[in-house]
Structure 1
């Protein structure tokens, strides 16, 4: 398969597939944003309605750029079969027709939480730190080799477990958000399992040398830092709100 156009093999002994896989899985196991204090408070049920709505607004800014970064990755592939396969990710978020897809489901989450979809689409209320983190991730996928861009998506390895935890937390602690608002999380359980399996296989076969393997691990670490930074911005806004920001 003409997968990810790896760079020339670098110095250092190539990790076995088992060791490489273990090193990749260790990154989200240690650094995934489920450990961030904001996420911990969300799942413990201690966020106020204003804090939860602020998260929905700011996380949507990340969600709406997922198909953009996937289009940038897709453009790096020289294999039509691989492009067709990756196209599904864009369709998962944009839908194949109006009113479908992950972005639509997130808009419905906002509506279930009392946020007008026009506000979500306007970007009003998106924090500067969130914009900066999302721009950094999109530019990473634009500028870095396909191998690294795909490896960065492997935060999906931890996503299904997070989605299950989040669904249970919302049902228990935030019943004022109707069940129809949780459709995005439910869909991502299966999609995350599928996407992470596919991306992991591409990274394992696409890394030709130790240098590629180390770059893939570093890319995944970078993505974890992006997601952590999003929540840092929200945590700061909670602790030090602007004068007109509801608490």
Structure 2
């Protein structure tokens, strides 16, 4: 059978990508169910926010590394928009600043959060692996790894509604980070999904796209594994990690 005959139709590639999210996205993780179900203490929610900050703050770094490798002005303009979404434009705060305000609202000391002194090793390893993946793998794989955004509107809706309903220490202002992502994420997905469906021109490249999304889902899952182990069960934060 020829390589051309092996090639998945674009709609089948998209179907398989979405199936990966249905199986592997961290919306299914027990820690997420505890978080939006109101079954965590304030200190456990603080631990989640503090560790998630490192992921949020690292997104511009991984996007900048990819921006430097994009071959056309049109692609660079698209990816530059993502940098502004997260870093802000000097007037309107970006996602990183909004996440710090979330941490403020939960009662965390901002200097402590930014210092990363309380970070779990599992969080650091997972996030650093993502930045390294985007920096070192092909542009196609790097773009494909961003496609977890296909599934983020659902988790955002669950998270915001559940946390507002179940925690008296959470307000709409605290969770303001998530509101812009409801419009930014679909825009990001439309571009990235079109790109991988168009640029994955061999079956091997299509498999790379699928593997990149699996990798991204796995590292998001690993971050919640680390949180669950340290702060829920058995509840053993490592030396130096944040302790509520």
Is 1:162 the counterpart of 2:155? The answer is yes
Shift of 1:197: 1.2
Shift of 1:12: 6.3
Maintained 8 Å contact 1:157/1:192: yes
Is 1:79 the counterpart of 2:38? The answer is no
Distance 1:13 1:92 in 2: 38
Aligned mate of 2:178, from 178, 185, 191: 185
Shift of 1:99: 6.2
Maintained 8 Å contact 2:87/2:93: yes
- 5+ residue gaps, structure 2, are none
- The secondary structure found in structure 1 opposite 2:70 is coil
Aligned mate of 1:223, from 213, 216, 220: 216
What residue in structure 1 maps to residue 117 of structure 2? 124
What residue in structure 2 maps to residue 142 of structure 1? 135
Distance 1:10 1:230 in 2: 37
Is 1:21 the counterpart of 2:14? The answer is yes
- 5+ residue gaps, structure 1, are 1-8
Maintained 8 Å contact 2:36/2:160: no
CA RMSD of aligned residues (A): 1.7
Shift of 1:141: 0.3
Is 1:69 the counterpart of 2:62? The answer is yes
- Structure 1 length normalisation: TM-score? 0.93
Residues 12/61 of structure 1: CA separation in 2 closer, same or farther (3 Å cut) = farther
Distance 1:178 1:20 in 2: 40
- Structure 2 length normalisation: TM-score? 0.94
Q: Post-superposition, which runs of at least 4 consecutive aligned residues in structure 1 deviate over 3 A?
A: 9-12, 242-247
Aligned mate of 1:105, from 98, 102, 115: 98
Shift of 1:241: 2.4
Shift of 1:98: 5.6
Distance 1:16 1:65 in 2: 34
Residues 11/235 of structure 1: CA separation in 2 closer, same or farther (3 Å cut) = farther
Aligned mate of 1:208, from 198, 201, 206: 201
Distance 1:44 1:12 in 2: 47
